Amino acid sequence: MTRRGLLLATTLLPFRMMAAEQSIPLRGRLRQGEDSKPGIITREGKSIDVSGDAATLGVLRDQRLKDADFEAMGHFTGPAQFEADPIYKKALFAWSGGKRLMVTYWCEICSIRAWTPGNCQCCQRPMKLDLRDPALEDTDPTN
C-alpha cells in the first residue's frame, strides 16, 4: 500500500465504526428488582433487560431513580436485551417535566461531578443525584 493509501484507510476507519455502532434511544419506566436485572418497561408494556458497564449498572440500580421515566442510548443485542453505551458517552437520561435530563451526581462541598452513584472521590460523602440539562456546562449546579 502506498503511503497515501494507508493514510486514507486510517482516517476513514473511525467513521465506518461509528456507522456500525449507531446508538438508538430506549425510553420507558426504569425497572429495578431485588432479583431481576435492571431494565426498561416501554410505553407498549414491553420489558427490556438493560446491560452496560459497571458505572452504567450503578445508575440503573440507583434506588433514587426507581420507576423514573428513563432513557438510555445504546443498541439492541436481542429481542428483549439492550446494551447501553459506555458511561463516558453520557448515555443515561431521566425525563422530568417534559425535559430530557442527564443523570449526574454532584458533591456540593467539593464541586465535583460524577456519572455514577457513590461517595465523592474527594471528601468521601455520598454524592447527590443531580438531573441536569445536557446543554449546561459540567461544573456548576446552580446555573
- Beta pairing class for 128-132 and 112-114: unpaired
> Can you list the positions of beta strands (E) in the chain?
24-31, 39-41, 47-51, 69-78, 81-84, 92-96, 99-107, 112-114, 128-132
Q: Which residues of 108-127 are buried (b: 16+ CB within 10 A; e: fewer)?
A: eeeeebbbbbeebeeeeeeb
Is 120 an interacting residue with respect to Zn ion (CB under 5 A)? yes
Which of residues 9 and 109 has its CB atom nearest to Zn ion in the complex?
109
Indicate which single residue of 6, 7, 13, 123 sits in contact with Zn ion (rule: CB under 5 A). Answer: 123
Is 108 an interacting residue with respect to Zn ion (CB under 5 A)? no
Which of residues 42 and 119 has its CB atom nearest to Zn ion in the complex?
119
Which of residues 37 and 128 has its CB atom nearest to Zn ion in the complex?
128
Indicate which single residue of 109, 119, 126, 136 sits in contact with Zn ion (rule: CB under 5 A). Answer: 109
CB of 47 within 8 A of CB of 19? no
Is 121 an interacting residue with respect to Zn ion (CB under 5 A)? no
Min dist. Cβ of residue 111 to Zn ion (A):
8
Indicate which single residue of 107, 115, 116, 117 sits in contact with Zn ion (rule: CB under 5 A). Answer: 107
Q: Show contacts with Zn ion in window 23-82 (CB under 5 A).
A: none
Q: How far apart are CA 49 and CA 78, in angstroms?
A: 10
The residues of the shown chain that bind Zn ion, judged by CB under 5 A, are: 107, 109-110, 120, 122-123
